[in-house]
């Protein structure tokens, strides 16, 4: 027994879809309520759907009773102010788990590499059902910022850098790929993140939007990459010798 997965994500673990024209949409992320939730840098999150409809961002498996990352319950106060974002999350018609807007403060490439992590999307997910993947809809216009993906967190040759202009839509198997965002600029970045169950609904949604499972890597000086590798390795060994614990996954969004 295994999970239902999407062949579109087999090759690289991600697909970039057609950009979404959000010029006429209200900037609803400015009106909703954020809570402090540290993940992959200086972040806050505004939950639109949580485990049981409360204004909180914990993984569904941490609740009582625990549940897998499906059947999220809408957070009334936030969806009242963000009907368009809710509609975008619902458009695929797939089961929705966690659905939230992330606010990320600017950072450096080396911070992003330090923050690379895998998500725990499929804990408690019964085999034979759909594998949970996540959609990232960039809300602010951040053409000089990048979603950084790596198949192997310590191997830069496996890195993909996806630029994040407004309306960028990427669906990622974030339990497979190490990921974090390198956000350059002076203002916070906002992005709608939705957990969806793989299945025929999501497949149709993806196929209708010209999915690309490989994109040109945004250029980056190899010396910057090498310096970041070195710094991260040093920080990791410093932390391990200070704590006596081997570091594993850093964070979970
Ligand atoms: Fe994540």
Q: pLDDT, tens digit, for every residue of 64-86? A: 999 999 999 999 999 999 999 99
User: 7-243 sits in which CATH class?
Assistant: mainly beta
What would the mean pLDDT of 158-176 be, rounded to a whole number? 98
- Which is more confidently placed, 146 or 239? 146
Residue 170 to residues 70, 107, 157, 244, Cα–Cα distance (Å): 19, 21, 21, 38
pLDDT digits 0-9 by tens, 191-214? 999 999 999 999 999 999 999 999
Q: Cα(118) to centroid of ligand 1, in Å?
A: 6
CA 193 to ligand 1 center in whole angstroms: 9
pLDDT of 237 above 60: yes
Question: How far is Cα 49 from Cα 85, in angstroms, rounded to an integer?
Answer: 11
CA of 21 to the centre of ligand 1 (A): 25
CA of residue 192 to ligand 1 center, whole Å? 12
- Ligand 1: distance of its center to the CA of 72 in Å? 17
pLDDT at 245: 66
Span from the CA of 172 to the centroid of ligand 1 (angstroms): 10
pTM of the predicted model, to two decimals?
0.94
Residue 139: pLDDT over 80: yes
| Annotated domain spans of the chain | 7-243
121 C-alpha to ligand 1 centroid (Å) = 9
Under the banding of pLDDT at 50, 70 and 90, the label for residue 250 is very low
CA of 117 to the centre of ligand 1 (A): 6
């Amino acid at each position: 027994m295994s999970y239902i997965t999407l062949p579109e994500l087999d090759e690289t673990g991600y697909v970039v879809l057609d950009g979404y024209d959000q010029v006429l949409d209200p900037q609803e992320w400015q009106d909703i309520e954020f809570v402090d939730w540290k993940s992959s840098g200086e972040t806050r999150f505004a939950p639109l759907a949580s485990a049981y409809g409360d204004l909180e961002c914990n993984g569904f498996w941490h609740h009582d009773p625990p549940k897998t990352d499906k059947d999220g319950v809408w957070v009334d106060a936030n969806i009242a102010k963000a009907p368009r974002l809710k509609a975008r999350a619902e458009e695929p018609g797939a089961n929705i788990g966690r659905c939230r807007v992330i606010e990320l403060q600017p950072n450096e490439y080396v911070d992003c590499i330090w923050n690379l992590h895998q998500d725990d999307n499929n804990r408690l997910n019964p085999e034979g059902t759909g594998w949970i993947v996540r959609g990232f809809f960039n809300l602010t216009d951040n053409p000089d910022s990048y979603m950084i993906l790596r198949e192997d967190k310590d191997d830069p040759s496996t890195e993909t850098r996806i630029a994040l202009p407004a309306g960028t839509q990427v669906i990622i198997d974030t339990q497979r790929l190490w990921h974090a965002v390198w956000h350059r600029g002076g203002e916070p970045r906002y992005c709608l993140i939705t957990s969806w169950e793989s299945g025929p609904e999501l497949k149709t949604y993806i196929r209708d939007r010209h999915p690309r499972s490989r994109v040109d890597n945004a250029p980056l000086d190899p010396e910057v990459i090498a310096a970041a590798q070195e710094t991260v390795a040093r920080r990791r060994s410093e932390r391990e010798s200070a704590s006596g614990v081997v570091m594993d996954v850093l964070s979970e969004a």
